Amino acid sequence: MRFRLTAIETYVLGQTLISVLGSLAILSSLAILLDVVEVASRVDVGFLGIARLVSLKSPAVIVLVLPFMLLFGTLFAFVGLNRRSELVAMRAAGVSAWRFIMPAALTAFVFGVITVTVLEPVTTELNARYNQALIALKADPAAKAGSDIWLRQGGEGGKARTQTVIHARTMDASSPDVRLTDVSFYIFDLAENGVAVFQRRIDAAEATLKVGAWSLKDAKETSPGSQVMHSDTMTLPTLINNRRDVERFSSPTTISLWALPNFIAQTEQAGFSSVGYRLRLQQLLAIPLLYAAMSILTAAFSLKLMRSGGLAILATSGVLLGFVFFFFDQVAVALGQAEWIPVFAAAWAPPLLALLSGLTLLCYTEDG
């Protein structure tokens, strides 16, 4: 089997990479510009402060638009090759479309692996720091207003069937520790039929997260059929480890690939649904295939329109193709989150459909 690229394959791959990088530069510049406007409207910290916040926020947005970067980059590359009649010359010389599309698809696949294993965890960490910086600067309207905080935990005292709902008025953003004020703990036991039975409620003026436990001050415990009990201090076991667990508990998109398996295990141990986390994990694992599929589909689509003399509508068709794929992906995600379809199908169906569509169109274009 031959792994070495020929001169024609190398040339087409180089032109595709140049076009993709150009699309990345344009889309990244647009994303950064929009982030500058957004950050400047929310916080007054001077030019250097805005630049720091934008440097933390923009990478996550850029990673989000990478599939569109590959779509438009591949599209523009083949438009350029066709306008210079280079594709016509290659096809006239008997060069198969598979020879210059597959190297680009493999490159996109490798880039997808790098995105998932390196870029995505880095941007997740930067985005978490951006949110913390906003809260610390009191730039978040919700932080200013002291919006309510809701958390869930399970396994109190080692009991797998115990669940606790936590409600707090505010969280001290200036403290490195997790410190909640005006907090209430609603503790339930799960019956054999899965019904949550209320056991007790604990209200406290302040709750600080320690290693494996909440430390409560000025606590008041209430349970059905008993009197209210007051305590100056009290501890409650918890599976929550740190501030990041608190901030990310309800947001799977802010958790990196390497942390998701542990988060899934903790959520299931607590007795709650891990659908959102499992769906996010499968979506990340499907990114390399998604990038390769977008490259093949766009290239095959471009060749089909070129053969049909459709250069005038190529750009519009490419944009519509991107929006159609994005819409289908969002529908699949919504169905997966609602558990109407399996999580695996929700995450892998869009890239597989794009890949099969691209290969089918390429076979039809190449072999008639």
Q: pLDDT tens for residues 97-133?
A: 777 788 888 888 988 899 899 888 888 888 877 877 7
Residue 292 pLDDT exceeds 70: yes
Residue at 107 is within a domain? yes
* Distance set, CA 120 to CA 114, 148, 263, 336 (Å): 9, 30, 17, 22
* Helix-helix angle 314-337:66-83, to 10 degrees: 160
Identify the residue whose tokens are 């289908």: 328
The per-residue pLDDT for range 219-272, each reduced to its tens digit, is 999 888 788 888 888 888 887 766 555 555 545 666 778 878 877 776 666 556
Token pair recorded at residue 136: 């610390």
Secondary-structure percent of the chain, ordered helix, strand, coil, rounded to 5:
65, 15, 20
Per the listing, tokens 């140049």 go with 18
Task: State the pLDDT at residue 348.
Answer: 93
Number of folded domains in the chain?
Answer: 2
Give yes or no: residues 187 and 224 share one domain: yes
Residue corresponding to tokens 């919006």: 147
Q: Which one has a higher pLDDT value, 162 or 3?
A: 162
At 113 the pLDDT is 92
Q: Specify if 358 maps to a domain.
A: yes
* 318-346 residue pLDDT tens: 667 767 877 888 888 888 887 788 889 98
Does a structural domain hold residue 109? yes
> pLDDT tens digit string along 46-69?
788 888 888 888 888 888 888 888
Asked if 13 and 130 sit in the same domain, the reply is yes
Q: How far is CA 220 from its chain centroid?
A: 40
Contact 74, 302 (CB under 8 A): yes
Contact 220, 204 (CB under 8 A): yes
Instruction: Give CA–CA dist 170/152, Å, rounded.
Output: 16
Claim to verify: residue 174 and residue 110 sit in the same structural domain: no
Please give the full DSSP string across 40-83, using - where no structure is assigned. HHH---HHHHHHHHHHHHHHHHHHHTHHHHHHHHHHHHHHHHHH
The rounded percent of the chain whose pLDDT value lies above 90 is 2
- Domain that includes residue 74, residue range: 7-137+280-367
Average pLDDT over residues 292-302: 81
Q: CATH number, domain at 220?
A: 2.60.450.10
State pTM to two decimals.
0.70
- CB-based contacts of 35: which residues, under 8 Å, 6+ apart? 54, 57, 58, 61
Q: Is 145 domain-assigned? A: no
- pLDDT at position 197 over 70: yes
Question: For residue 148, is it within any domain?
Answer: no
> Which residues is 170 bridged to in the sheet?
181
Distance CA 148, CA 171 (A): 9
Residue finishing a domain among 238, 272, 305: 238
**The residue type at 173:** A
Does residue 234 belong to any structural domain of this protein?
yes
The number of CA neighbours under 13 Å toward the Cβ of 239 is 26
Torsion, CA 290, CA 294, CA 295, CA 296, rounded to 10: 100
